[in-house]
Structure 1
């Protein structure tokens, strides 16, 4: 059994001093507080549970920073999507695996130990399936295996360009399946993921605009007991189109018709009424928030105050992967609320730490959304991270997470995923070789 001793550790019931964590294989076996470090313990200052990144489109990491030039008219989500489609159409399996591996290195270095890969880049560049219909899912699994990150693979069903069953556009040709072909793809994805220790597979109907109601009903039957993730109410136009087609707002329609429960994660849920926010919270589902991407795309503000007041579960994801960071996502979540309401410390409970509320909520909700457990507790995966506060040794336990999220003095040190130490001194153990391949691939993509 390996063991870590921390001067401070964040346990489920709060900060504790002199904590020894014993772990064997992938899981934590023992947690003891108030105990002296032993001769064989690996010693650290601050130990936290690592976090789940509940929403990622790995291939989009390749276009980070490449869509920030203004077009001839006003830019918005839909003009960005056109750029994204062009990039998606250019990538072969080797290139996507290289980009995904680089992304997963960056996630681990940020303190994410598991990723929910909302995977919809399925087919060859001409739109025809590969000989192995799950070829691109196999590459996602390979990238996770290379880097060591935990994986919840979420194959995406995408059939239409908009509400009313409209035919997909040519730019969507790599994404599109019918129910029969998606069933085969899902089987292949499950088989690939089954070879990766600790991996899980769920299902991802892309959105109500891309999935007809009868298709959504069929898909939920395919999901088994796994997670179900869906984009919902990210954009005002999406809400307006949904009202025109289904006579309900997206979140409202899902709550009334889809049997939304604790297996579900509604990604973004940006444009909700207060009643929808209360209903989503009561459902037990997770709101999958991607604050950096939502800001980058100009999506809008999540109804956090009402949702959290009703004990709604939430987690964070990096979505378009324009920037990777736990602190960045959590800070942006709080700052968006401050700007919307012209107030401070919106997410915190009265008298409580904003950083702690953000971190605890995202740890619990992220694990739920990806079908796992979280926390420094016996039986949970040994997914852990250390913080280096040597630059600010005066910061005490009650302010550590506030400082980590909102200031600059505290950094991620080491990260374990499934009991394997993958990041040391803030750097992934395979960073150099994976980054070198990524640079070669990006040079190919941006010059063609």
Structure 2
């Protein structure tokens, strides 16, 4: 980081939930906002770098499985057999076939391409829910953090922020005592997860872009004792906690059969859920459960594109909004890598279900659906990462994007409607520049990295293509 503050001038910027004019933005030496001053005079803005378009804060992508980027577009053919059906569970079997092939070098190449795409899609931080711990045979690597470090290197190369979430995964189902053969790569314990946390913290000390949390894959994947052991250690260390929950109706039915309670109900009653917790999906939640989540202080991570792609169902946004619940968004399996697409699909799923328009505007208390969705997703970034990342405000990390008002989706749009058009006008609007911690890391859809060594994207693409060819070569 530069030892001296940097200053930027934005003719238009999103400050405290609305567009503000003539905004002078100052970045402190630690990469956080030092000051945000709307209505700056020309004299005050003298010497500041003038930004090329309207400025929005960067958003947190609160749920990612980086390796699944290698599957995007490759699971869209029906299963063989006259009586075969396609659902989440058949997709999961295909996912395992990819998970059990990927090497550390391939994971790094895939994650680096993915993280560059996420930057181009307006995300400036990604929470990677990481459970590929072991080698392809299921044995531990000589360095148990080998796969985790591949993700760290990918993030550092592109300049995106990373919250790494090493994941507890110990059994294949509620009644199982261990993992299936095709899940051996996922094997971990509370102790091994915390060792990975400690190692990543040591190796990234001083990097403002990288931090850690923990994840529990799901209630079916960990015993109550193991869940309590890990989450107690996370609480002592002040780490965010993530868990998949109530994504599928079968999961709800299995939990009821085994525990007598629904998944979210059991979690709230037994796990000491608090404001550090992030419940991923929560697709099949009752209004009472959603009120309970809000009352606990926890947040929900909604992944609209993946939930649609997998046939999970539609999240009950009106009920959760009525409870005043916090939420963020994630791209999960990465069938799309753009937050405007995720927010658009979240709103459209509500419109399909309720046969009304502008649901988010109504239930979130905004005039604009896009503004309501954006503000909610922005506020949900803090509980997901455990870092100050919730907008253009002093003390928060200086992450932002500029809009290209000459792109087709925004061309000729009145300035006050730029966010509405960004979310609801297709094809997607182009972003001009992307900054993380005050450093430019992408421009015009191309990753540059934080080292300013020229356009990074072509080299990333070459590595990605090579990894894809190795993974999906004929006969495999």
TM-score by length of 1: 0.97
Q: 1 CA distance for matches of 2:50 and 2:416?
A: 24
8 A contact 1:145–1:196 mirrored in 2: no
Q: Which residue of 1 aligns with 2:18?
A: 14
Q: Which residue of 2 aligns with 1:48?
A: 56
Once the 2 structures are TM-superposed, how far is the Cα of residue 425 of structure 1 from its aligned partner?
2.0
Q: Does 1:439 align with 2:465?
A: yes
Q: Deviations over 1:271-292 (max 9, x none)?
A: 0011111111222211101100
8 A contact 2:17–2:375 mirrored in 1: no
Q: 2 CA distance for matches of 1:64 and 1:10?
A: 32
Q: Which residue of 2 aligns with 1:395?
A: 413
Q: Which residue of 2 aligns with 1:83?
A: 94
Name the stretch that deviates more: 112-121 or 411-420: 411-420
Match of 1:372 among 383, 387, 403: 387
User: Aligned to 2:76, what secondary structure does the other structure show?
Assistant: coil
8 A contact 1:155–1:189 mirrored in 2: no
- C-alpha spacing 1:117/1:351, structure 2 compared with 1 (3 Å): closer
User: Aligned to 2:54, what secondary structure does the other structure show?
Assistant: strand
Q: 2 CA distance for matches of 1:269 and 1:351?
A: 24
Q: Which residue of 2 aligns with 1:386?
A: 402
Match of 1:325 among 318, 326, 338: 338
Q: 1 CA distance for matches of 2:135 and 2:366?
A: 54
Q: 1 CA distance for matches of 2:268 and 2:196?
A: 28
8 A contact 2:189–2:226 mirrored in 1: no
Q: Does 1:120 align with 2:128?
A: no
8 A contact 2:366–2:372 mirrored in 1: no
User: Aligned to 1:194, what secondary structure does the other structure show?
Assistant: coil
Q: Deviations over 1:314-356 (max 9, x none)?
A: 1000101121001111011111111111211111135610000
Q: Deviations over 1:374-408 (max 9, x none)?
A: 21112211100111122545423442211100103
Q: Does 1:252 align with 2:270?
A: no
Q: Does 1:65 align with 2:84?
A: no
Name the stretch that deviates more: 100-109 or 42-51: 42-51
Give the alignment of 1:46-445 within 5 angstroms. 46-72=54-80, 73-194=84-205, 196-223=207-234, 224-349=237-362, 352-373=367-388, 374-390=390-406, 391=408, 392=410, 394-408=412-426, 410-429=429-448, 430-445=456-471
Gaps of 5+ in 2: 449-455
TM-score by length of 2: 0.91
Q: 1 CA distance for matches of 2:470 and 2:17?
A: 50
Once the 2 structures are TM-superposed, how far is the Cα of residue 39 of structure 1 from its aligned partner?
4.0
Q: 1 CA distance for matches of 2:416 and 2:367?
A: 10
User: Aligned to 1:106, what secondary structure does the other structure show?
Assistant: helix
- C-alpha spacing 1:158/1:239, structure 2 compared with 1 (3 Å): same
Gaps of 5+ in 1: none
Q: 1 CA distance for matches of 2:150 and 2:356?
A: 45
Once the 2 structures are TM-superposed, how far is the Cα of residue 432 of structure 1 from its aligned partner?
1.1
Q: 2 CA distance for matches of 1:84 and 1:418?
A: 34
Q: 2 CA distance for matches of 1:31 and 1:104?
A: 28
Once the 2 structures are TM-superposed, how far is the Cα of residue 360 of structure 1 from its aligned partner?
0.6
Q: 2 CA distance for matches of 1:81 and 1:423?
A: 33
Q: 1 CA distance for matches of 2:387 and 2:366?
A: 31
Q: Deviations over 1:229-256 (max 9, x none)?
A: 0000000000000001111101111111
User: Aligned to 1:21, what secondary structure does the other structure show?
Assistant: strand
Q: 1 CA distance for matches of 2:135 and 2:229?
A: 26
8 A contact 2:51–2:402 mirrored in 1: no
8 A contact 1:384–1:415 mirrored in 2: yes
Q: Which residue of 1 aligns with 2:452?
A: none
Q: 2 CA distance for matches of 1:79 and 1:169?
A: 15
Size of the aligned set, in residue pairs, is 448
- C-alpha spacing 1:193/1:207, structure 2 compared with 1 (3 Å): farther
Question: How large is the Cα RMSD of the aligned pairs?
Answer: 1.5
